[in-house]
Structure 1
């Protein structure tokens, strides 16, 4: 069980993924999940899925961060990693028809 405080943040990313892209997108999500799990300040790191009709799947990632500073440091780390790999997340999602919805939330 997590212990949310006023500084705890939740990065919640929702994706509508065409069925044809589920395998490649799942692979990408697992890679980033593994990358983030090793970062300081991560309390939880979940990847969830739900059917979304006959031609798509909803996928959600939820990462609980102990602080805004921890989340910002991990974002910078991830951006460097993507640059080193030559990976462009926006182009990847556009190429595969994935519709994202990103947000940062706090517990009430």
Structure 2
């Protein structure tokens, strides 16, 4: 019997300057749509801060079926970005966005 798969969560947090919000959120919406269509994507949320003292004002949260689904999606997105001549790091730098990007597993 195969071992059960465990969800993997990709959580990206951003500090987005007000002047960069529209362009940044447009890019985020494009990426959200791309990820939503990928096999193994269970949840895909974009959250924008509406109150509180936290520094990060945009958070993206994607739940993947398992590590393999995340790995497959990462490879597909990387290939798609290359086709589009899109460099997310360049956009983040140019817009003055601060990013904290990581993968998480659920605490048992």
**Superposition TM-score, scaled by structure 2 size:** 0.88
The number of residue pairs the alignment matches comes to 102
Displaced runs of 4+ in structure 1, greater than 2 A? Answer: none
- Structure holding more strand per residue: 1
Matches of 2:23 and 2:49, distance apart in 1: 17
**Superposition TM-score, scaled by structure 1 size:** 0.88
- Equivalent runs, 1:23-62 vs 2, <5 Å: 23-50=22-49, 58-62=57-61
- Gapped runs of 5+ residues in structure 2? none
- Gapped runs of 5+ residues in structure 1? none
Matches of 1:57 and 1:22, distance apart in 2: 13
**8 A Cα contact 2:13 2:56, kept in partner:** no
CA deviation map 1:26-53 (0-9, x unaligned):
0000000000000000000000011589
Relative to 1, partners in 2 of residues 1:94 and 1:51: Cα closer, same or farther, differing over 3 Å? farther
CA RMSD, Structure 1 to Structure 2 (Å): 1.8
Matched, 1:98 2:92: no
**8 A Cα contact 2:7 2:65, kept in partner:** yes
